[in-house]
């Protein structure tokens, strides 16, 4: 049962499928913006939910700090609130963890309008339940986030991007796993099957990157090349814009190795689908041309009991594949939103 006057909090609606609900009134937080507190020496900042990540980045970069998980859809206008609610992390997720690992505290309104102060403002805190993690990925369905505190890190000196040619999925999987287990301390490991290329990002002092580049080259010989337009590559991935704009539907699918082959086959069989793996193969990003592509992907995921989330475009519904329906998820929703002020968590 949804309350008659149900609402859905939204930011800049860069993840439109999540920021939409037929029955709900959209409440925009985009004007609730600004950085409230930034303590470079604490590695923390607190901002209103509607603050754009690009504003945050600007301020952090002035002090040589950053959010290491590569926030997504930054150029598109993503807000901090929307990013947490969607639970999206880009390629940088690989090294230090995702957005879930960097949200320290969230002030939010529950379904009954109470103000809740969850988590804390210091980098280490184990008191009480970790509600900020629960809100990560809650898609505006568990509360209206108004203010959040993040952990930040010092920026590495320089980035360097390498391309590693891989003629098959097997080679790519084997090389990704070697890279991920190596002592090279890579910053990101992505893979694009259609271009038969693994992308590696080194982050650190320039001389050190150079030496590591030599080491990696020794491992895979002439398959390794340095890319001069590295930043553009990562940016395109994190903006979900590495292919033509007509592929407007963007789907996130958390995967593991036994699912990768299936996803690669699916993408190669469909003209309208482009595939990119980030986080050493832990996440598949699929950019699709049509709802028909999404429907087919839905079937593939259902067969594998895997879940997918459409985060861009105008799909019939954002939740595809198999989303476990548990008693506890209903009970948690009820606890956070006793009067059903927000839409259901998911429709499948």
Q: What residues from 113 to 152 belong to the interface with another protein (CB under 8 A)?
A: 114-118, 120-131, 133-139, 142
Query: What does the chain come to in residues?
Result: 348
Piece of the chain touching another protein by CB under 8 A; list 3-11, 232-240, 249-257, 265-273: 249-257
What is the nearest approach in angstroms of another protein to the Cβ of residue 327? 5
What is the nearest approach in angstroms of another protein to the Cβ of residue 121? 6
Range 214-243, binding another protein (CB under 8 A): none
Residues 85, 139 contacting (CB under 8 angstroms): yes
Range 72-91, binding another protein (CB under 8 A): 87, 89
Residues 116, 110 contacting (CB under 8 angstroms): yes
Buried b (16+ CB within 10 A) or exposed e, 25-61: eeeebbebbebeebeeeebbbbbbbbbbbebbeebbe
The reply on whether position 340 binds another protein by CB under 8 A is no
Size of the site for another protein (CB under 8 A): 84
- The interface mask with another protein, positions 35-54, x = CB under 8 A, is ----xxxxx-----------
Return the closest-CA partner of residue 18 out of 287, 347, 298. 347
Residue with smaller CB distance to another protein, 33 or 110: 110
The reply on whether position 67 binds another protein by CB under 8 A is no
d(CA 330, CA 187): 37
d(CA 175, CA 182): 10
Residue with smaller CB distance to another protein, 80 or 309: 309
DSSP readout, 149-182?
EEE-EEPPSEEEEEEEE-SSHHHHHHHHHHHHHS
d(CA 85, CA 136): 5
Range 156-185, binding another protein (CB under 8 A): 173-174, 177, 180-185
What is the nearest approach in angstroms of another protein to the Cβ of residue 221? 20
Range 283-302, binding another protein (CB under 8 A): 283
What is the nearest approach in angstroms of another protein to the Cβ of residue 182? 6
Could you tell me the end-to-end alpha-carbon distance of the chain, in angstroms, rounded to an integer?
A: 16
Piece of the chain touching another protein by CB under 8 A; list 6-14, 109-117, 235-243, 267-275: 109-117
Residue with smaller CB distance to another protein, 33 or 73: 73
The reply on whether position 323 binds another protein by CB under 8 A is yes
Residues 199, 161 contacting (CB under 8 angstroms): yes
Return the closest-CA partner of residue 152 out of 65, 41, 261, 32. 65
């Amino acid at each position: 049962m949804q309350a008659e006057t149900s609402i859905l909090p939204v930011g800049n609606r860069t993840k439109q499928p999540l920021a939409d609900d037929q029955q709900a009134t959209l409440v925009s937080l985009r004007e609730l913006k600004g950085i409230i507190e930034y303590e470079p020496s604490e590695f923390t900042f607190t901002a209103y939910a509607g603050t754009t990540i690009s504003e945050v980045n600007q301020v952090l970069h002035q002090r040589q700090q950053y959010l290491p998980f590569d926030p997504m859809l930054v150029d598109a206008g993503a807000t901090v609130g929307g990013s947490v609610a969607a639970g999206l992390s880009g390629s940088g997720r690989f090294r230090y963890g995702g957005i879930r690992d960097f949200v320290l505290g969230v002030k939010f309104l529950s379904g009954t309008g109470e103000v809740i102060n969850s988590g804390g403002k210091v980098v280490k805190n184990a008191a009480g339940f970790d509600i900020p993690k629960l809100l990560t990925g809650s898609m505006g369905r568990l509360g209206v986030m108004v203010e959040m505190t993040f952990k930040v890190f010092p920026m590495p000196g320089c980035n360097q991007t390498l391309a590693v040619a891989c003629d098959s999925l097997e080679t790519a999987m084997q090389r990704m796993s070697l890279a991920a287990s190596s002592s090279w301390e890579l910053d990101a490991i992505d893979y694009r099957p259609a271009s038969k290329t693994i992308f590696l990002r080194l982050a650190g002092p320039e001389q050190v990157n150079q030496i590591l580049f030599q080491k990696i080259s020794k491992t895979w010989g002439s398959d390794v090349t340095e890319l001069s337009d590295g930043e553009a590559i990562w940016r395109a991935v994190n903006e979900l814009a590495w292919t033509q704009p007509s592929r407007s539907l963007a789907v996130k699918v958390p995967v593991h190795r036994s699912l990768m082959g299936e996803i690669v086959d699916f993408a190669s069989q469909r003209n309208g689908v482009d595939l990119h793996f980030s986080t050493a193969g832990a996440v598949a990003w699929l950019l699709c041309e049509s709802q028909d592509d999404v429907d087919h992907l839905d079937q593939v995921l259902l067969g594998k009991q895997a879940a997918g989330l459409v985060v861009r475009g105008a799909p019939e519904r954002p939740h595809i594949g198999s989303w476990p329906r548990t008693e506890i998820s209903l009970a948690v929703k009820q606890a956070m939103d006793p009067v059903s002020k927000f839409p259901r968590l998911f429709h499948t």
